[in-house]
Amino acid sequence: MSLPPLLTQHIVRRPQRIALLQHIAEQGSITRAAKSAGLSYKAAWDAIDELNNLADQPLVERSVGGRGGGGAKLSEEGQRVLRLYQRLQALQAQLLEASEDAGDLGLLSRLMLRTSARNQLHGKVLGIEAQGHNDRVRLELARGLVIEAQITHDSTLRLELAIGTEVVALIKAGWLELHPIESAEQSGINTLRGVIEQVAAAEDGPSEVRIGLPNGQTLCALADPLQLHERNLATGSAVHVAFSPTNVLLGTPL
């Protein structure tokens, strides 16, 4: 079984995050693995979320809290990716020796996708519906979760989108709205059900909210602390995450 192209690029371009898998396998704890990898606890969580979101199946299985800040282990898919990473390390050494110009690697680096969007979800195109100058693109995420994106028809052509095309959906944290699970789903926008795993309050500004989705992927949202209080949303709360299709950006591997 092949890996999603964007995850493959991630293995090549950001090996320090893939190396975190090795530390998790050895340490069995996110806290200890982060320390061993030279990362902060938050950076380790962010790396795990990003890796899980780019994979078809979660690479890391974890439990929040407990001794050492939370237990963690690699899933079967995580072990497979780690073995691939270890093989690529040897190939990378050969590539560096064979490269005629160090600028070659810089060129490849610039051509690979990098984005500031906190939420990067791997998926495949299920359908494309023309709507004037725009297209509504239906995407299937891991384990059958479905969302929609609205992009221009020109973008559809430029990205060469078709049924089955693998894409990454990019959603900025500030574009997500959080609603109590009892609230009615809003027509015309994406609404995903999840559970709040963590609320990181800031001294001044919105709180960072990590939401676990039923398919194993994770979303990060920014929410006003007062609004969270008024809606009775806290760690452990079931929640609806809503966002407009116009706020879903699409990327494809080169």
Q: Give yes or no: residues 101 and 121 share one domain.
A: no
- The tens digit of pLDDT for each residue in 165-191 reads 989 899 999 999 999 998 755 555 799
Instruction: Give this prediction's pTM.
Output: 0.66
Q: 111, 137, 169 — which closes off a domain?
A: 111
Cβ neighbours for 254, distance < 8 A, ≥ 6 positions apart? 111, 112, 113
**Cα distance between residue 169 and residue 82, in whole Å:** 24
Count of domains observed in the chain: 2
Distant-in-sequence, close-in-space partners of 208: CB < 8 Å, separation ≥ 6: 173, 199, 200, 202, 220, 221, 222
Here the CATH number for the domain that contains residue 243 is 2.40.50.100
Class of residue 195 by CB neighbours under 10 A (exposed 0-12, middle 13-18, buried 19+)? middle
The answer on 251 and 134 residing in a single domain is: yes
- The range of the structural domain enclosing residue 178 comes to 117-254
Q: What is the pLDDT of residues 140-174, one digit of tens each?
A: 998 899 999 999 999 999 889 999 998 989 999 99
- pLDDT confidence band for 108 (50 / 70 / 90): very low
Co-location of 240 and 137 in the same domain: yes
Q: Do 171 and 200 share a domain, yes or no?
A: yes
Measure the CA–CA gap between 151 and 247, rounded to whole angstroms. Answer: 9
